[in-house]
Structure 1
């Protein structure tokens, strides 16, 4: 393979990583696409089509002030996780992320370095991506973080996050809900890790 081709591929790969941290492309395609070819571009290999025969057409532009009912699925077991499974005695942090997003990777790495400071909260990582990509994300960037008892990795098979909680403009998008299910804090994109952890405990 010649040097120009290698550089070209590297440039495209780098650009795609940077672009993926902006969620507009992904969520807009999810919301506005109903043609067969475009719908097939979304990975369907691991979930049931009966729950959604076409892409969702409603997205929540404002952050839900109260944690709504939802159904996500544990990455490894496939077990359903709903609002009733969420802790009622501590803050619950939801992190909507894209495995290819460099900012998401940086945040996960930083959180793993601060594991000792995360004991008093629950963290739910949520992604609409292919489970294999999600698994690779944690294997590569935060293997210890993903194994904590208070951290769950969830797959959003039916794009419920953007329909019921919020459509962010940037990844990662962090949402801190209190034990009472009320929104305490929210931010998108980069944030100093010390400031982020302080918000987790707000």
Structure 2
């Protein structure tokens, strides 16, 4: 009789306790990613005194395509922020993805495509899914986290208010 009770108790505990959702980083963490040219880019290089936007994407993600398109289409609303497009994918794949889905973001002085070669983004920024967009204020504190591509327009409102 004890074995079935243990099994039932374990199953109840497994299904009753929700999985701990990751909490997005409340401040920009220290990191070193790489530009598409292969140069290291550290968090210390983020310009001070302006908001920062991080968009975490995967080149095979349909929702990421939509997010990248929205970011590109609304580029004028991103001008006062430093924008970082971060991926675990390769340099060529990342560049091709941005060229195809957000070409308006290319060659802009405030937009940087970053490759996470050391796999730091996941443990340090703690995204909940692809895509994940973070808006940090000029003090490097999180103002908005968005993981639903349909709600990406909220980030533009937040940037305007910073």
TM range (shorter): 0.7 to 0.9
Asked if residue 82 in structure 1 is aligned to residue 54 in structure 2, the reply is: no
Residues 192 and 63 (structure 1), Cα distance of their counterparts in 2 relative to 1, 3 Å cut? closer
Q: After superposition, what is the alpha-carbon deviation per residue over 1:80-111, rounded to whole angstroms, capped at 9, x for unaligned?
A: 11111001111001111111111111121122
Q: Distance in 2 between matches of 1:104 and 1:200?
A: 20
Indicate which of 147, 150, 159 corresponds to 1:191: 150
Q: Distance in 1 between matches of 2:153 and 2:32?
A: 31
**1:201, CA displacement in angstroms?**
3.5
Q: Distance in 2 between matches of 1:154 and 1:147?
A: 13
Aligned length: 141
CA contact (8 A) 1:61 1:166 kept: yes
Pairs within 5 Å for 1:1-202 = 61-75=22-36, 77-168=37-128, 170-202=129-161
Superposition TM-score, scaled by structure 1 size: 0.65
CA contact (8 A) 1:99 1:134 kept: yes
Q: Distance in 2 between matches of 1:128 and 1:189?
A: 19
SS of equivalent residue, structure 2 residue 149: coil
Q: Distance in 2 between matches of 1:72 and 1:96?
A: 12
Q: Distance in 2 between matches of 1:193 and 1:158?
A: 27
Q: After superposition, what is the alpha-carbon deviation per residue over 1:4-51, rounded to whole angstroms, capped at 9, x for unaligned?
A: xxxxxxxxxxxxxxxxxxxxxxxxxxxxxxxxxxxxxxxxxxxxxxxx
**1:162, CA displacement in angstroms?**
0.8
Superposition TM-score, scaled by structure 2 size: 0.80
* Alignment match, 1:55: none
